[in-house]
A and B are shown apart, each in its own frame.
Chain A
Amino acid sequence: MELSTTLPVVWFLIIGFAIMMYVVLDGFVLGIGILTPFADDEAQQELMMNTAAPIWDGNETWLVMGGAGLMAAFPRAYALILSSLYLPVLAMLIALIFRGVAFEFRFRAHRSRRIWGVGFHAGSVVAAFAQGLMLGAIVEGMPAEGGKYLHGAFAWFSPFAVMTGMALVFGYGLLGATWLVLKTEGRPQRIARDLTRPLMLAVIAFMIMVSAWLPFLDSRLMDRWFAWPNFLYLSPLPVLTVVVAAWLWRAVLADREVAPFVLALSFFALGFLGLVAGMWPNIVPPDMSLWDAASPPSSQGFVLVGAAIMIPVVLFYTAYSYRVFRGKVRAGEGYH
């Protein structure tokens, strides 16, 4: 097989992996921000933020990895997606700015403390919603000709994209709640536990709605899913999703601490895989395939050497840092 045939597939998987890492890892940090209004007081909010303070920056770097990876391996898709989703991307970046600086500024502030609490929450909600919006718009399809988007500056705004936006806010909320169950104790853990069940119901409802809507989209994203014998090969995915959902539900009811977080992550990853399987072999539906968008083997091959070495190294020291900061986070513990 030709390099120009296989390399884009490898890169599709790498970027898919990077985006999935971003979605689950920053997902739970954004989820914390989405849930901070449920805390009883400022001290609990601070505790919730402290559970993520040492690791949020590394988590967010997966977004940059996804962006830079897309530019390196699929420059045409990078250019098309970002320039046609100009305003949602702007909203996401500005929201991530306020969310990110809140970690540092809130700690330094006295009178302006509340501002950064609000900034952390609003930034998290808007970033999650904008990401869901972008996901919805891509899934719906971005018709382009000669690399230029055919629709206007607001074409991404559609009922479907608004729904995926809301779905992601609730989804990240679920990840955040299960993370807080894992990392806190006492009252904050109780709050997180009480939130987990309604959030789970909402996420399952959204998942069903999105799945039901997909076959009716112009991008015909789901054709692949229902074409025989694809459905047979792909069927483990929905089956596994249902199993994980049921398992998660039981783990939550049983007041388990670790299992809900791990299962919520798996649940998210499976949903993501389902979408990616539907998009294949397009990187931007309806008709930009990964081979159309790919950079030549001289570029993809060059970065692949680095990725093959560096991604395992990154995963190794990321795991190390999670190990250093394992265990429950307690009040008053550990800022520099």
Chain B
Amino acid sequence: MTAEFLSRIQFGFVMSFHILFPAFTIGLASWLVFLEALWLRRRSEMLRDLYFFWLKVFAGSFGLGVVSGIVMSFQFGTNWAGLSTVAGNVLGPLLNYEVMTAFFLEATFLGVMLFGWNRVGHRTHFFATCMVALGTLISSFWILAANSWMQTPQGYAVVDGVIHATDWWAAIFNPSFPTRLVHMVLACFLSTALVIGGVAAWYLLRGIWQDKARLMLRCALGLVAVAAPLQIVVGDLSGLVVRAYQPAKLAAIEARWTTASSVPLTLFAWPDEQAERNDYALDVPHLGSLILTHSWDGEVQGLKDFPVADRPPVAAPFFSFRIMVGLGVLMLVLALAGVLLWWRRRLFEHRWYLRCWIAMMPAGFIALLTGWYTAEIGRQPWVVYGVMRTADAASTLAVSSVMTSLIVYFVTYMILFGFGSWYLFKVLRSGPEAAPPRFGFEATAARPLAVADDRREE
């Protein structure tokens, strides 16, 4: 076992753990903006209760995202010194822009959002919620720009073995960036909507919080009904970019060994990397060409066209891609069934349908992770596609050091995940109780004047 191999395992692990929380908070922050905006308009207690309920969930998930995110910002230096030295000129500035435009914004206004209810006016509080949501979206912009640049690098030159940026616009808006950004943000919204709908279905089945649960389920269904079909379109566009810029990745995803036109779509197979063929393949003729090239007999490159040293692993991208797409289709079915039931005014009547929502609660996160595995394993053996190999990116470290850190991260994250899930479960189980009223309204010098105006409104 080499230190590089362990570093890869570690990065995959800490990244997989981390990504769940920002993904959830990107969706939740926008949901909170929606709830608070609606509350400002209608001033119904129900909306305020819902806001505070999801705010609790948001706070916990944001906290876990922050602490696991700090780990990420140091990984590039601790374990990937080679990458930082060679590509730091491009990656560093993008990540630094993320900190300056997003992280500070989120972190600072989060304080006002969580603790400021009694200290600022309603409008200011709403502004804080909006800034947090804006921060989460800006953050996804920069991180996707950095990651997409590593997938489809543009706007650079290699000088003395070090990458220099020559055109920042081209580097940021690199070919895969627009589709991948939209794909990721939609994935975050879908994951969050499935959780919100699942929680609502759980209350409806238990016969508690009926009004609030109905509102939540309607909103979640509405979002999934719009986002799930859209996501399939964006995913398809993303596939076209992969075909144009990372043909070896596409070949691995589809387990295509030989270059051919009018290729079938392999629904299932057992790819054998040694023998360079698929066992037990279940093929649909022409469908592969149709989906991948948008023509009946378009040509798709096979893995045998690439030297063995430049091929990604096949099984992992092949299967993880299929899990992602399968879950995407299930989301679409869930939404279509829901729209049909809603149209017939039976959305809340069928227990089987509500159970489906509960079953689908983790689906968004699983699809998101498997999507990332497809993207990241599929671009191997490159860390910066076609420019730098992953093997050259690792730090020179003792195997024992990386083994230690891997074990420590694993144990720490299991503790966090265990307690975090338990506390989340407790919050969800007790449900959207009545939010505490604004208290302590005696005029004190410490309180901004804006509060006095709100007081009259209540």
Q: Could you tell me which A residues sit within 8 Å of B by CB distance?
A: 53-55, 57-58, 60-61, 63-65, 67-73, 75-76, 78-83, 86-87, 89-90, 93-94, 96-98, 100-101, 103-105, 108-109, 112, 147-149, 152-153, 295-296, 298-299, 302-303, 306-307, 310-311, 314, 317-318, 321, 324-327, 333-336
Count: A-B pairs, CB below 8 Å = 239
Q: Which of B78, B104, B111 contacts A82 (CB 8 A)?
A: B78
Is A73 a contact partner of B92 (Cβ separation < 8 A)?
yes
**Distance (whole angstroms) from the CB of B287 to the closest CB of chain A:** 44
* A67 partner, pick from B74, B398, B400, B409, beta carbons under 8 A: B74
Contact of B117 among A64, A109, A336 (CB under 8 A): A336
| Shortest beta-carbon distance from A57 to chain B in Å | 4
Residues of chain B within 8 A (CB-CB) of A148 are: 396
CA distance A191 to B423 in the complex (A): 32
- B interface: dominant SS: helix
Q: Which of A108, A296, A306, A335 contacts B100 (CB 8 A)?
A: A306
Contacts of B98 in A (CB 8 A): 68
- Contact present for B59 and A336 (CB under 8 Å): yes
Which residues on A sit within 8 Å (CB–CB) of B105?
Answer: 314, 317
Residue contact B95 to A68, C-beta cutoff 8 Å: yes
Q: How far is the CA of A276 from the CA of B1 in the complex (A)?
A: 40
CB contacts under 8 Å to A, within B402-449, are: 404-405, 408-409, 412, 416, 419-420, 423, 426-427, 440, 444-446, 448
- A71/B111 in contact, CB under 8 A: no
- On whether the beta carbons of A82 and B66 are closer than 8 Å, the reply is no
What are 30 pairs between A and B in contact, CB < 8 Å?
Answer: A54-B111, A60-B66, A60-B70, A68-B92, A68-B96, A71-B91, A78-B84, A79-B395, A80-B81, A82-B77, A83-B78, A90-B78, A97-B68, A104-B59, A108-B60, A108-B423, A112-B419, A147-B81, A148-B396, A152-B398, A153-B400, A295-B93, A296-B89, A298-B164, A298-B166, A299-B165, A321-B109, A325-B115, A325-B116, A336-B52
Which residue on chain A has the smallest CB distance to residue B55?
A336
**Closest 9 CB pairs between A and B?**
A75-B88, A82-B77, A72-B92, A327-B446, A54-B111, A79-B81, A71-B92, A310-B100, A83-B395
Choice from A64, A82, A98, A334 contacting B103 with Cβ under 8 Å: A64
Given A94-B408, A109-B423, A321-B108, check contact A82 B74 (CB 8 Å): yes
A97 to B100, CA, bound (A): 22
Report chain A residues within 8 Å CB of B101: 306, 310
Q: Is B107's CB within 8 Å of the partner chain A? A: yes
Interchain CB contact under 8 A, A61 and B168? no
User: For B89, what are the chain A residues with a Cβ–Cβ distance below 8 Å?
Assistant: 75, 295-296, 298-299
A73 to B89, CA, bound (A): 8
Tell me if B341 is interfacial: C-beta within 8 Å of chain A: no
- Chain B: minimal CB distance from A82 (Å): 3
Chain A: which residue is nearest B166 at the CB level?
A298
Query: CB-CB < 8 A to A83: which residues of B?
Result: 77-79, 81, 395-397
C-alpha spacing A109/B63, complex, angstroms? 15
